[in-house]
A and B are shown apart, each in its own frame.
Chain A
Amino acid sequence: MEADWIWGLVGGMLIGTGGAAYLLGSGRIMGASGIIGGLVDGTGRATAVERLVFLAGVFLAPMLLVALFSEAETHLTTNPAVLIAAGLLVGVGTRLANGCTSGHGVCGISRLSLRGIVATAFYIGAGGLTVVLFRHLLGVI
């Protein structure tokens, strides 16, 4: 679609506004992997309710929008082996690196954090190579 980049820009600004509200309001960095990971490994037990409320918003707002714009599609693979491998890699990787696209990408780059910039370069590079390998050479995805 031609207007994709406009929706990208508008949606991106919403994401950034969410991060800005969380930073200026609560004094926290809006990083999805950190917020989820803290619930899983127990490091975020003291702030568990706040984390769950945040995730409820992440889940409920698009649910409302999906009902309104039924054309939104996900095109997710149906190969369970790929889904399990990808989920494990994303889970271990983001916690090892202490951040993902929202924490290192959006919140890190916007404050010119070297760690955020380096992490983003590596996950985009690895993601690109993975797509080339598994799509064009192996034809798995």
Chain B
Amino acid sequence: MRNFLAFLAGSLFGAGLLISGMTDTTKVQGWLDVFGAWDPTLAFVMGGAIVPMALAWRLTRNRTPLVGGNFPPPPEPKLGRNLVLGSVLFGMGWGLSGLCPGPSIASLSYGHWGHVLFVVAMLAGMFAAPAVRSQLDRLAAPA
């Protein structure tokens, strides 16, 4: 059941990414390019995705997941350095390429070498992230 749900969610996610145009890097970079030919599509994608998601969060009240267990705990209010620094680094890579993690996987279906190279580099970055995090902690700690 868990695997079925994961496949269902992944398929809807992947199909939505392609249909919405989020695997087209021109649209993503066009959204970020406020001084060029600005493309508002991404705002509609975000808006369209947030509606069913907000409804789903509302439905989690007084209920448990279909497969049992518990829903995720309420979001942490803590912001912190890693959240801000990580988001800035992510935004830079997103702007440079027009790809973020979900669409990078969905785009592998185009069969272009560029996506493979991007995904390999992204996996390397993710592999290195725990070491980067502890290095940052060491730098921030008082001597």
Q: A27-B69, A27-B72, A106-B53 are in contact. Are A119 and B87 (CB under 8 A)?
A: yes
Tell me if B106 and A59 are in contact (CB < 8 A).
Answer: yes
Question: Interface of chain B, helix or strand or loop or mixed?
Answer: helix
Q: CA A9 – CA B43 in complex, angstroms?
A: 9
Tell me if B105 and A129 are in contact (CB < 8 A).
Answer: no
Tell me if A22 and B6 are in contact (CB < 8 A).
Answer: yes
Tell me if A17 and B79 are in contact (CB < 8 A).
Answer: no
Contacts of B119 in A (CB 8 A): 87
How far in angstroms is the closest Cβ of chain B from A54? 4
Q: CA A19 – CA B52 in complex, angstroms?
A: 8
Tell me if B88 and A77 are in contact (CB < 8 A).
Answer: no
A-B contact count (CB 8 A): 479
Contact of A136 among B35, B86, B129 (CB under 8 A): B35
Contact of A57 among B13, B55, B75, B110 (CB under 8 A): B13
B5-27 interface with A by 8 A CB criterion: 5-27
How far in angstroms is the closest Cβ of chain A from B46? 6
B42-66 interface with A by 8 A CB criterion: 42-57, 59-60, 63-66
Contacts of B136 in A (CB 8 A): 96
How big is chain A's contact interface, by range? 35 or more
How far in angstroms is the closest Cβ of chain B from A5? 5
Tell me if A62 and B17 are in contact (CB < 8 A).
Answer: yes
How does the 8 Å CB contact mask read for A7-37 relative to B, with 1 for contact and 0 for none?
1111111111111111111111110110011
A→B interface (CB under 8 Å): 4-30, 32-33, 36-37, 40-41, 49-51, 53-63, 65-66, 72-78, 80, 82-98, 100-102, 104-111, 113-116, 118-120, 122-132, 134-136, 141
Known pairs A11-B18, A76-B97, A92-B128; list 14 more (Cβ under 8 Å): A11-B17, A11-B48, A14-B19, A16-B16, A19-B56, A24-B56, A27-B65, A30-B13, A40-B123, A57-B8, A102-B13, A110-B56, A124-B91, A134-B96
List the 3 closest pairs (A to B, CB-CB), nearest first.
A91-B125, A11-B20, A12-B48
Q: List 16 A-B contacts (CB under 8 A).
A: A7-B41, A12-B46, A19-B53, A22-B6, A22-B9, A25-B9, A37-B129, A50-B6, A62-B23, A62-B109, A65-B15, A87-B104, A94-B90, A95-B133, A97-B83, A131-B95
